[in-house]
A = this chain, B = another copy of it.
């Protein structure tokens, strides 16, 4: 390996090592002739500065950390994850930053990861994804003044810099769409009770009903998890009602797909017998039959804002606001068509 240092380049160029550094950093007060000489040698030998030495000296690593709060197994099948990483790499790259990714595997290792990345100065700042509501890292990170941004929500919302989807708006968007299509009896199949996403989308659902002057029917609302099986079970339950809903808002595409399967199995046509809409616009939506309408989350925008805010924080520019909300977008497909 070519263990080249500025020292060696300096010798070969017959200047001091300091001059080599100046040339590299683009210092204007360097004689043009020397500069050319140095640049030639650098090019000839393919010298590249050592990032470790640079970061030790400059106190900047040029690397962002992304910590995802899930087990590798959960990550493996999550389309959200790859989209997020891809977008962060893209935006961070534009600003000259690299990305270091870690997963908070087990609960006990969470602390370790945070230490390993931030306090060891391996990264300049952190993007945390979907932290727990009561995450013990928050107070510490805040206290130590480390640059970090949340994707998700943390209470109180103005305590930290965060970016989040407009989940209330998303729930409303889905429900209003169904109402516009003429539905009057609309069910909501939620995920785990207490989770922000689920509760917020539920709030949006309630609001849309209310604003349209529709009655809220508690028997049309179910909670559970994010699985296809959960959607399947609940859809069956809803279809067993004396007065079943004509449309379903499912908190997640997978849940919606479960509902879709239940309807098809029972010979209920979608959307004629029952319309179904999901959330996240995962790639699945296009390939199920009928294609599934969904409220898309703008992952790229989420990533873009998170990255920008974090880099602003790192580079001591005061970001404009602490909390950013990214609106969602309705993707109409056949499952809610007329």
Interface residues of A (CB under 8 A from B): 1-2, 46, 48-53, 55-56, 61, 63, 72-73, 75-79, 81-83, 85-87, 89-90, 93, 98-103, 105, 115-117, 119-122, 144-146, 228, 257, 264, 283-284, 286-289, 299-300
Q: How many copies does the complex hold?
A: 2
Check B146–A1 contact: CB distance below 8 A.
Answer: yes
B55, B89, B289: the one contacting A101 at CB < 8 Å is B89
User: If A48-B119, A52-B61 touch, does A93 touch B79 (CB 8 Å cutoff)?
Assistant: no
Check A299–B76 contact: CB distance below 8 A.
Answer: yes
Chain B residues lying within 8 Å of A53, measured Cβ to Cβ, are 56
A1→B120 CA distance, assembly (Å): 12
A220→B193 CA distance, assembly (Å): 52
Q: Can you report 20 residue pairs joining A to B where beta carbons are below 8 Å apart?
A: A1-B145, A1-B146, A2-B144, A46-B119, A48-B119, A51-B121, A52-B56, A63-B100, A76-B83, A82-B82, A85-B85, A90-B105, A93-B102, A93-B103, A98-B102, A100-B100, A284-B287, A287-B287, A288-B288, A288-B289
Check A98–B100 contact: CB distance below 8 A.
Answer: yes
Say how far A183's CB is from chain B's closest CB, in angstroms: 24
A116→B61 CA distance, assembly (Å): 12
A260→B144 CA distance, assembly (Å): 56
Say how far A94's CB is from chain B's closest CB, in angstroms: 10
Chain B residues lying within 8 Å of A52, measured Cβ to Cβ, are 52, 55-56, 61, 121-122
Check B283–A122 contact: CB distance below 8 A.
Answer: no
Chain B residues lying within 8 Å of A1, measured Cβ to Cβ, are 144-146
Check B82–A98 contact: CB distance below 8 A.
Answer: no
With A51-B116, A53-B56 given, can you name 6 additional A-B contacts, CB distance below 8 Å? A1-B144, A76-B299, A77-B79, A85-B85, A93-B102, A98-B122
B76, B78, B145, B287: the one contacting A288 at CB < 8 Å is B287
Check A117–B98 contact: CB distance below 8 A.
Answer: yes
Chain B residues lying within 8 Å of A146, measured Cβ to Cβ, are 1
Say how far A264's CB is from chain B's closest CB, in angstroms: 7
> Chain B: which residue is nearest A50 at the CB level?
B121
Chain B residues lying within 8 Å of A78, measured Cβ to Cβ, are 82
